[in-house]
């Protein structure tokens, strides 16, 4: 299949590109490298050294013999998006090209607005371009399990049967997100559902859990590394814990650590995305997939890292720091995630094994982590945004 990846320079985008070409798909990437600039803005960088895109693509060709087409461009520019759809008329477009950090969106009003505006704009541009020049394309849109929040009832895959005052309907499940970033994905989901309704576009909206890991089967050479963020703004919980442990810092568990989320390894995330691409929904269907393997509380994760690190002779420690976020620290959590399994998804990575690989990889790049140790501890606070006018 011919697949365009919006955001190919990102953590998942790059790993997905390598996975798709290994499966014989033809891949085109789009990126404007804004994540690199935004990570620099907060004084950080990727733990794994990553080549620039044009070098990356040369290495891919050298190692696999396969060519990935690349378009340098901004998905918030309609002419760019329309141009890509017009030129490639892809079977699938995977939209990974959004601002994806919750803390970044919480820095101040300008980061809140930038996150919601750029995320909504890119998705609107994509559905209009599909409608305009490529209506057969299957859009695979990255959302987040965080759209649902932590309701006291089970979380279905997007929609549920409601009975209320004696009548019934099948409705979108209520969303209760926990940051401006997570809300931007809720807004996107509403917009995607509507684009499907009015134009019959074929869309898979992926509610993904937190992704962890440094490797996929295709990352066989240092020059093929995907980025790996670890600072308080760009690093996800588990990745951050591993980095803290390698640096001899205590793992920063926010609050009591009972916050429970769905997690999935990078390898299995790109497996899921590949399955979604290879198994599109019916034409003109809007499909929601809950994409994660297992739910863990933050403190359970920290304990897993502790065990694995200890076995390696590292000296792990766990600290409960004041929670900079506004979230329940003990709650019910039971999201349903069956649809991907029915499409053939099988978990291939166990948490402990993956943690071992991450720690080994990070030990290699310890100097890069040391250089940025001051940006690991949380300072973006949900309750106290920075004042952009002071």
Q: Catalytic amino acids?
A: 144, 181, 185
| Binding of its own copies by 131 (CB under 8 A) | yes
| Binding of its own copies by 109 (CB under 8 A) | yes
Q: What is the DSSP string of 146-203?
A: GGS---SS-B-SSEEEEEETTEEEEEEPP---SSHHHHHHHHHHHHHHHHHHHH--EE
Task: Count CB neighbours of 60 within 10 A.
Answer: 22
| Binding of its own copies by 322 (CB under 8 A) | no
| Binding of its own copies by 11 (CB under 8 A) | no
User: Which 144-183 positions form the footprint of its own copies (CB under 8 A)?
Assistant: 151-154, 156, 160, 162-165, 167-169, 171-178, 180, 183
| Cα–Cα distance, 138 to 25 (Å, whole number) | 15
Question: What percent helix, strand, coil does the chain show, rounded to 5?
Answer: 40, 20, 40
Query: Closest distance between its own copies and the C-beta of residue 29, in Å?
Result: 23
CB 64 within 8 A of CB 126: no
Binding residue for its own copies, selected from 66, 191, 320, 356, defined by CB under 8 A: 191
CB 71 within 8 A of CB 29: yes
CB 289 within 8 A of CB 157: yes
Q: Of 197 and 283, which CB lies nearer to its own copies in the complex structure? A: 197
Binding residue for its own copies, selected from 49, 73, 281, 385, defined by CB under 8 A: 385
| Cα–Cα distance, 245 to 249 (Å, whole number) | 6
Total residues interacting with its own copies, rule: CB under 8 A = 58
User: Which 66-95 positions form the footprint of its own copies (CB under 8 A)?
Assistant: 78-79, 82
Binding residue for its own copies, selected from 58, 62, 72, 117, defined by CB under 8 A: 117
Q: Of 107 and 224, which CB lies nearer to its own copies in the complex structure? A: 107
CB 134 within 8 A of CB 89: yes
| Binding of its own copies by 333 (CB under 8 A) | no
Across 327-348, b (16+ Cβ under 10 Å) vs e yields bbbeeebebebebbeeeebeee
Site string for its own copies, 195-224 (x = CB under 8 A): --xxx-------------------------
Q: Which stretch binds its own copies (CB under 8 A): 61-69, 112-120, 222-230, 263-271?
A: 112-120
Q: Which stretch binds its own copies (CB under 8 A): 31-39, 54-62, 103-111, 345-353?
A: 103-111
| Cα–Cα distance, 133 to 79 (Å, whole number) | 12
| Cα–Cα distance, 170 to 173 (Å, whole number) | 9
| Cα–Cα distance, 19 to 260 (Å, whole number) | 29
Binding residue for its own copies, selected from 43, 55, 58, 190, defined by CB under 8 A: 190
Question: Cα-flanking dihedrals φ and ψ of residue 66, to 5°?
Answer: -105, 145
| Binding of its own copies by 120 (CB under 8 A) | yes
Q: Give residues in contact with its own copies (CB under 8 A).
A: 78-79, 82, 108-110, 112-113, 116-117, 120-121, 124-125, 128-129, 131-132, 151-154, 156, 160, 162-165, 167-169, 171-178, 180, 183, 186-187, 190-191, 193-194, 197-199, 326, 332, 382-383, 385, 387-389
């Amino acid at each position: 299949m011919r697949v365009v990846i919006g955001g190919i320079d990102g953590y998942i985008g790059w790993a997905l590109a390598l996975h798709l070409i290994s499966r014989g798909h033809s891949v085109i990437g789009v990126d404007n490298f804004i994540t690199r600039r935004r990570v620099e803005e907060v004084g950080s960088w990727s733990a794994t050294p990553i080549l620039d895109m044009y070098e990356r693509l040369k290495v891919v060709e050298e190692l696999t013999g396969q060519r990935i087409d690349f378009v340098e461009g901004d998905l918030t520019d309609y002419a760019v998006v329309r141009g890509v759809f017009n030129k490639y008329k892809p079977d699938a477009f995977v939209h990974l090209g959004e601002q994806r950090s919750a803390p970044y969106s919480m820095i101040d009003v300008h980061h809140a607005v930038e996150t919601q505006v750029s995320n909504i704009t890119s998705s609107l541009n994509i559905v209009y371009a599909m409608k305009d020049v490529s209506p057969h394309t299957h859009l695979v849109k990255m959302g987040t399990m965080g759209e649902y929040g932590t309701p006291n009832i089970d979380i279905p895959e997007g929609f549920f049967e409601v009975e209320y005052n004696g009548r019934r309907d099948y409705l979108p499940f209520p969303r209760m997100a926990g940051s401006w970033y997570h809300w931007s994905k809720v807004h996107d989901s509403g917009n995607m559902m509507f684009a499907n309704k009015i134009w019959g576009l074929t869309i898979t909206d992926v509610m993904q859990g937190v992704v962890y890991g440094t490797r996929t089967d295709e990352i066989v050479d240092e020059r093929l590394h995907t980025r790996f963020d670890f600072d308080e703004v760009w690093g996800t919980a588990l990745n951050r814990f591993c980095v803290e442990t390698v640096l001899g810092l205590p793992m920063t568990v926010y609050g009591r650590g009972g916050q429970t989320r769905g997690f999935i390894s990078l390898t299995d995330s790109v497996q899921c995305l590949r399955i979604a691409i290879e198994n599109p929904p019916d034409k003109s269907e809007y499909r929601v997939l809950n994409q994660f393997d297992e739910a863990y509380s933050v403190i359970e994760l920290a304990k897993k890292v502790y065990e694995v690190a200890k076995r390696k002779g590292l000296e792990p420690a766990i600290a409960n720091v004041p929670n900079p976020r506004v979230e329940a620290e003990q709650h019910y959590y039971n999201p349903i995630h069956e649809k991907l399994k029915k499409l053939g998804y099988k978990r291939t990575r166990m948490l402990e094994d993956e943690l071992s690989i991450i720690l080994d990889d990070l030990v290699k790049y310890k100097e890069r982590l040391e250089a940025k140790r001051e940006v690991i501890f949380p300072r973006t606070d949900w309750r106290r945004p920075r004042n952009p006018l002071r």
